Amino acid sequence: MTDPQDHVVAAQKALAEAQAALADAQAVADAAVAAATAWVPVADAGSAAAGSPVPLTDAQVAIVRAGYTFDAPAIEMGALVNGSAMPDVPVRIPIAMVNRHGLVAGATGTGKTKTLQVLAEQLASAGVPVFAADIKGDLSGIASAGVANPKLLERTAGIGQTWAPLASPTEYFSLGGVGTGIPLRASVTGFGYLLLSKVLGLNPTQESSLGLVFHFAEQKQWPLIDITDLRKVVKYLVSDEGKSELDELGGLSKATAGVILRELITFSDQGADVFFGEPEIDVQKFLRMAPDGVRGLISLMEVPGVQDKPELFSTFLMWLLTELYKALPEVGDLPKPKLVFFFDEAHLLFNDASKDFLQVITQTVRLIRSKGVGIFFVTQTPKDVPGDVLAQLGSRIQHQLRAHTPDDAKALKATVSTYPSSGYDLAQVLQNLATGEAIVTVMNEKGAPSPVAWTRLRAPQGSMSPTPVEQMAAAVAASPLLAEYGTPIDRRSAGDILDERARDAVAAAPAALSAGQVSSGPTMTAEQKGAAAAQKQQQAQFERLQKAAAAQAAREAKAAQVAADRAAREKARAEERLRKQAVGAGVSIARLVVGKLFGSTRR
């Protein structure tokens, strides 16, 4: 008889599936309605041209104008779009609020990189150092002056921008020296087990075990400089000698160690281990001013050589942020940030991140503001960023979003829900933004959100094409940091210590055995215990060989004796046969002779 509870469970499951299907259908329907009404003209559109999306009213425009009027210095983002651009309604971000963090989002090809360039140029001109990663190489043009053309000047004039070419002071860095730039390196110890677990794709159990390895190395004061050091320590801790040293810490299973070692080997085979080593970068180098003492220096990390290692790239950026947090003093709210950090391809950082890892990110983002550092995450949609982190972002610059699939429609709906109320149908507007336009809201001087503004963004003053490699190489060669960080350092580390112990144990074994010094007493040091263990292993192996040789000799002797006995018996039997044959022959001959003799006499 069927259990009624089974029917209840089945009904609940069917209801859940139906609700999910309804949600997908509703999302598609919403997207379809938005697309169908995207270009509905309005009779009293004011300055809006026929066929453009619904504009703001004059009263709403006045609210936007007032909402972006600041007394303090500000970054000029562009001009309000209300059917057409309105150069008399500028959209701006107070520089003092930039360290309240921000988000630059939008689909591929909508202008995120150029927006980043506009922000970096103006921050540097205002005396704020900038750090940014250049994944595709497009951002390197910030170091070269732009070139005017009629289309560019028409656009900039239309938003009230007085455009002039500008080359910003730029320093180039590269991960481990792969590419053009001063090498950025981190020791494995400095990188930490949480970030390394993220790069290696370890699960929570494996992450915890890797943390145990790091803790052991720290206790022993064994520096983990590169991946080779870490591999040797993991192997040691699952060896007969190393197991005993982990008894009080919980131990490391061979299965988990095997997973970690395999991932480390794969990681090294991909060439990623070149990013780990010394000298480790001093992150305060990113806070420098340009040689003119007026503009902030733009530190640009060139990463075209690691596009196939996105997790490493994004996690390395997170390491730089955590190092900044640890290195900088508390300063509170400043008139302008000490540094603005652009975190490109941010979604790579959060994908499949463990709970502990997300906690580290959230804490760093929340607290680094008091160190004078502002962070801008650059990604495709706000849903790429966890809610706890998104809540910390004061400025939002959202480029066009697309709704071609149910997932896109859900992302669009989620994005709209994160904005303050406004006079826009954001689901409609976000799909119809032109390249170089964005929906903007920032934090004003009082810490309140500004009105949502459809904005046509300013054009970069630097080149929109990459800076030539020869020019970048010349800048690297002239950098004062090249002498400090250009050549790797190879100091004594955990791997060297383990190699030395193994050599010393092998060398000491014969002398210790002959002198009877092998002991396992409580006064022995760890090194002596290691040597004693090696000596015992060698002695045991020697004794096993001796026993094996004696047993083999005994078997061979026994076999030889058996063969000799068999040969003796065969010889005796052969001699007996010959003797019998000889006796028989003698008897026959005697009979024949006697018969002949006696027979002759009778005749």
Reported as a pLDDT band with limits 50, 70 and 90, residue 570 is confident
Contact in structure between 185 and 278 (CB atoms under 8 Å)? yes
What's the rounded Cα separation, in Å, for the pair 124 and 169?
8
Residue 420, token pair as written in the block: 């303050």
The SS3 assignment for 398 reads strand
Report the C-alpha gap between 353 and 356 in whole angstroms: 8
Query: Does pLDDT of 233 surpass 80?
Result: yes
Confidence of residue 460 (pLDDT cuts 50, 70, 90): very high
**Lowest-confidence pick of 277-281, 312-316, 352-356, 515-519:** 515-519
C-alpha span between 251 and 229 (Å, rounded)? 19
Place of tokens 């989620």: 414
What are 515's two structure tokens?
Answer: 């002198």
- Looking at the DSSP bridge assignments, the partners of residue 171 are 299
Distance (Å, rounded) from C-alpha 125 to C-alpha 169? 9
For residue 454, give every residue at least 6 positions away whose Cβ sits within 8 Å of its Cβ, in sequence order, or none: 80, 81, 82, 424, 429, 433, 437, 439, 440
The predicted structure's pLDDT at residue 38: 33
At residue 122, the pLDDT reads 96
Residue pair 426/439 in contact by the 8 Å Cβ criterion: yes
Report the candidate in 442, 440, 412, 417 with the shortest Cα–Cα distance to residue 428. 412
Token duo for residue 328: 């900088």
What DSSP character marks residue 382? G
CB 392 within 8 A of CB 365: yes
Asked if residue 338 lies in contact with residue 123, where contact means CB atoms within 8 angstroms, the answer is no
Give the C-alpha separation, 37 to 35, whole Å: 6
| Segment among 5-9, 31-35, 94-98 with least mean pLDDT | 31-35
| pLDDT, the chain, mean | 82
Distance between CA atoms of 185 and 282, rounded to whole angstroms?
Answer: 10
Q: What order do you get walking across the sheet with 84-94 strand by strand?
A: 84-94, 74-82, 453-457, 437-441, 395-398, 102-105, 373-379, 339-344, 130-134, 298-302, 170-175, 182-184
Checking if the pLDDT of 452 tops 60, the result is yes
Stated pTM of the model: 0.73
CA distances 37 to 28, 53, 54, 422, Å, are 14, 9, 10, 18
pLDDT beyond 50 at 600: no
Pair type for strands 339-344 and 298-302: unpaired
Q: In terms of pLDDT, which residue wins out, 317 or 523?
A: 317
Q: Which residues pair with 342 in a beta bridge?
A: 132, 376
Q: What is residue 592's predicted lDDT score, i.e. its pLDDT?
A: 63
Structure token digits, residue 322: 């955590």
For residues 101 and 392, the answer to whether their CB atoms sit within 8 Å is yes
- Bridge partners of residue 130, in order along the sequence: 298, 340
Q: Which residue type does 172 have?
A: Y
Region 45-57 average pLDDT: 52
The reported pLDDT for the residue numbered 446 is 87
Distance CA 493, CA 278 (A): 11
